[in-house]
Amino acid sequence: MAEMGDAAKLRLARSRNIGPVAYAQLMMRFGSAEAALDAIPDLARRGGGRAPKLADMDAIEAEMANVARLGARYLFLGDSGYPAALAEIPTAPPALIIRGEAALLQKPIIAMVGARNASAAARRFARDLAFRLGAEGYVVVSGLARGIDTAAHTGSLESGTIAVIAGGTDIFYPPENEELQVAISERGLLIAEQPPGSEPKARHFPYRNRIIAGLGRGTVVVEAAPKSGSLITARQANEFGRDVMAVPGSPLDPRAQGCNQLIRDGAALIQSAEDVIASLDPFNIGGVREPGADYSGEPVLPDASDSDRETITELLGPVPVSVDEIVRQAGLSPAIVQTVLLELELAGRLERHAGGKVSLT
């Protein structure tokens, strides 16, 4: 069966060894998913491995039918309407499944995250802060978890809220938020990266968190333990060049230690919606891609020589190293380095890590 349009994009995104970085680079180089799929076997061979198993087209068609049945639709990286702020991050999701008011992606977005076991005072503060930000024209995005996430969505439901979930759009997690999740899908916007039917697993939550951080002009943390997912989201926001803000708390409460640490490290101290708005970088406005945006006009990645591949592969090992360091030590252009890394990834020999680091598997 011929692979056309969205089906080919989804097949590329769901195929083995093709993560967000590889997807974007393949589209940049070949201009279409169809051309990228055709080129994968040769690229993997150059990387010293076998061609990765491509996603089954019957499974792709079944997924697309399920998405349509649920009243949801896809946004692909490069499509008109794909959030521009999210498209800017290095690991932008190739495919988003959205359900609800897509127009909310065109408004300025603030991320709000925090402790699942948040105090009653912090939940009330988060709810009120989200309500006041909504009244000022901002959309609040969070992760639909217990505690602060739930409070943020509840406070901003009337003005516009976005929930990014770790599983499929038809899976309710946590179970007690089923009613809220349905309400957001009808009056706000529900976003998932995983296909319908996917139960949320531990490995999915960091991926969800980077979408939350990538969508927001800034991230507000309301209560967080020192080693929590909320602080991971804040770190990702900082890596993406977004504003990081935190609500201070009592030094006697362990749930406040993460926020107090963020403030000590330079995060803006937040006590009101006015503080959030004043802290935002006026040049970091987000939005959506312009209509008709695609990869056809982007510069293609150049072919690499065997000596280039040898030089770069020798610099790699099991310890993650930044791509910038590989470029510096190889003495080659960033484009050549990216080509070789793409070939190695498609061959199943390269693993990508947070912070733009890579290692050999």
Residue 176, classified by CB atoms within 10 Å of its CB into exposed (0-12), middle (13-18) or buried (19+), is exposed
Q: How confident is the model at residue 55 (pLDDT cuts 50, 70, 90)?
A: very high
Residue 226: per-residue pLDDT: 87
Residue 40: per-residue pLDDT: 95
Q: How confident is the model at residue 298 (pLDDT cuts 50, 70, 90)?
A: very low
* Average pLDDT of span 202-217: 94
Comparing C-alpha atoms, which of 35, 182, 206, 31 is closest to residue 113? 206
Q: Edge to edge, what strands does the sheet with 350-353 contain?
A: 321-322, 357-360, 350-353
* Average pLDDT of span 110-135: 96
Q: How confident is the model at residue 297 (pLDDT cuts 50, 70, 90)?
A: very low
Q: Is the pLDDT of residue 288 over 90?
A: no
Distance CA 33, CA 55 (A): 13
Residue 229 carries which side chain, given as an amino acid letter?
Answer: G
Residue 261 CB neighbours (<10 A)? 15
3 or 80, which is more confident? Answer: 80
For residue 102, what are its two tokens? 């897509």
Residue 37: per-residue pLDDT: 95
Residue 52: per-residue pLDDT: 84
Q: Is the pLDDT of residue 356 over 80?
A: yes
Distance CA 279, CA 58 (A): 49
Distance CA 73, CA 63 (A): 11
Distance CA 88, CA 78 (A): 11
* Average pLDDT of span 192-203: 93
Residue 300: per-residue pLDDT: 62
Q: What is the Cβ-side half-sphere exposure of residue 55, based on CA atoms within 13 angstroms?
A: 21
Distance CA 171, CA 256 (A): 31
Residue 5: per-residue pLDDT: 87
302 or 94, which is more confident? Answer: 94
The mean pLDDT value of the chain amounts to 91
Question: Which single residue is written with the structure tokens 């993406």?
Answer: 240
Q: Is the pLDDT of residue 287 over 80?
A: no
Which fold, 5-69+301-360?
Arc Repressor Mutant, subunit A (1.10.10)
* Average pLDDT of span 161-185: 96
What does each C-alpha distance from 147 to 8, 128, 172, 269, 351 come to in angstroms?
39, 14, 16, 21, 34
Comparing C-alpha atoms, which of 145, 82, 92 is closest to residue 118? 145
* Average pLDDT of span 301-313: 90
Distance CA 37, CA 30 (A): 9
Helices (H) and strands (E) in the chain, counts: 15, 12
Residue 344: per-residue pLDDT: 95
Q: What is the DSSP letter of 83?
A: B
SS3 331: coil
Residue 286: per-residue pLDDT: 53
Distance CA 124, CA 168 (A): 29
* Average pLDDT of span 47-61: 91
293 or 260, which is more confident? Answer: 260
Q: Is the pLDDT of residue 296 over 70?
A: no
Residue 283: per-residue pLDDT: 61
Q: Is the pLDDT of residue 285 over 70?
A: no
Residue 55 carries which side chain, given as an amino acid letter?
Answer: A
Q: Is the pLDDT of residue 274 over 60?
A: yes
Could you tell me what percent of the chain has a pLDDT over 70?
Answer: 94
Note the CATH number of domain 86-279.
3.40.50.450
* Average pLDDT of span 55-62: 96
Q: Is the pLDDT of residue 3 over 70?
A: no
Task: List every span in the chain annotated with CATH 1.10.10.10.
Answer: 5-69+301-360
Tell me the pairing of strands 243-247 and 218-222: parallel
Q: How confident is the model at residue 291 (pLDDT cuts 50, 70, 90)?
A: very low
Core vs surface per residue 325-349: b (16+ CB within 10 A) or e:
ebbeebebeeebbbbbbbbbbbbbb
Residue 172: per-residue pLDDT: 95
Task: List every span in the chain annotated with CATH 3.40.50.450.
Answer: 86-279
Residue 159 carries which side chain, given as an amino acid letter?
Answer: S
Q: What is the dihedral of CA 311, 314, 316, 322, to 10 degrees?
A: -40
Spatial neighbors of 356 by CB under 8 A, at least 6 apart, are: 90, 322, 323, 324
Strands (E), 62-194: 73-76, 95-100, 109-114, 139-142, 161-165, 189-192
Residue 252: per-residue pLDDT: 87
Q: Report pLDDT digits (tens) over 75-84.
A: 999 998 999 9
Residue 199: per-residue pLDDT: 93
Element (H, E) at 244: strand 243-247
Q: Is the pLDDT of residue 295 over 90?
A: no
